Amino acid sequence: MTDPVVPQPASTPVPAAVDQAALQELILSTSGVEEFLDELVQLAASGGAVSCGITVRVDDRVRTVVSSDELASRADEVQYAQGEGPCLEAVRTGLVVESADLVGDDRWSGYRTFAVLQGVRSVLSTPMTAGGDTFGALNLYSPHPNAFGDGARERAERWAQQASGAVGVALRLAERTRWGQQMSQALTSRTVIDQAIGIVMAQQRCSAADAFGILRTASQGRNVKLRAIAADIVEAVGGRDGT
């Protein structure tokens, strides 16, 4: 028994009134990246049966940072679980990926069945880039086939550009914060090691180079990190991990 034919709109239900001015107003009216992205996907999904999600790749892992509803979340997660789909292809290739109707699409066999069961019929994934590198995708999902026309693709590109700027800044800030934390840890380790070298120099009446050699030999012999050896020495003479 074949499925009943349901009349569908000739193009996407995404409202044509959404334009660059609306995006600029959105940027000015939101107070942070998270709020901006949440409002952005809601804007992209407004006006009809369209769901929107934003995928980013961090440390070779992909995840959804924001979605307009449960359908978008499920459609994204199915791809991550299967390791294939239009969203992942857009991230990997840096190209816009579209499926007018997943039912008749022969790509992504592992993903397609699950997506259709979730209620997805057509998909439009637009890459998000910064500095020439693709780090994510803005994904539009519809329960209707042939939902995305030329106008929807143009608007999706504008949304993806705006999202790229916001997410790109957030990722760079996160990377700098992580770099700063690593640098702080490295400096702390260096301080502890320098203190331990001074203690060994005093105890063994040797040079700094010889003291460092003693620490390194102990580290290798005990298969323990040099910083841990140094911290033990500092603590043993009354310090506490370099403080």
Q: Which domains, ranges and CATH numbers included, belong to the chain?
A: 20-176 (3.30.450.40), 177-236 (1.10.10.10)
Q: How many CA atoms lie within 13 A of 92 on its CB side?
A: 9
pLDDT at 220: 84
Share above pLDDT 70 across residues of the chain, in percent, rounded to a whole number: 73
What are 26-31's contacts with CB under 8 Å, separation 24+?
26/162, 27/162
* Average confidence score pLDDT of the chain: 77
As a whole number, mean pLDDT of residues 11-39 equals 50
Q: How confident is the model at residue 170 (pLDDT cuts 50, 70, 90)?
A: low
CA dihedral 152, 78, 169, 40 (to 10 degrees): 40
Q: Where are the alpha helices (DSSP H) in 148-207?
A: 150-204
Q: Is the pTM of this model over 0.85?
A: no
> How far is Cα 9 from Cα 50, in angstroms, rounded to an integer?
12
Signed CA dihedral, 39, 44, 49, 50: sign only? negative
23 and 163 in contact (C-beta within 8 Å)?
no
Radius of gyration of the chain (CA): 27
Q: 134: part of which helix (H) or strand (E)?
A: strand 133-142
Higher pLDDT, 204 or 19: 204
Residue 32 pLDDT exceeds 60 = no
> How far is Cα 221 from Cα 212, in angstroms, rounded to an integer?
14
> How far is Cα 51 from Cα 55, in angstroms, rounded to an integer?
13
Lowest pLDDT segment from 93-107, 128-142, 164-178: 164-178
> 64 phi and psi, to 5 degrees?
-90, 125
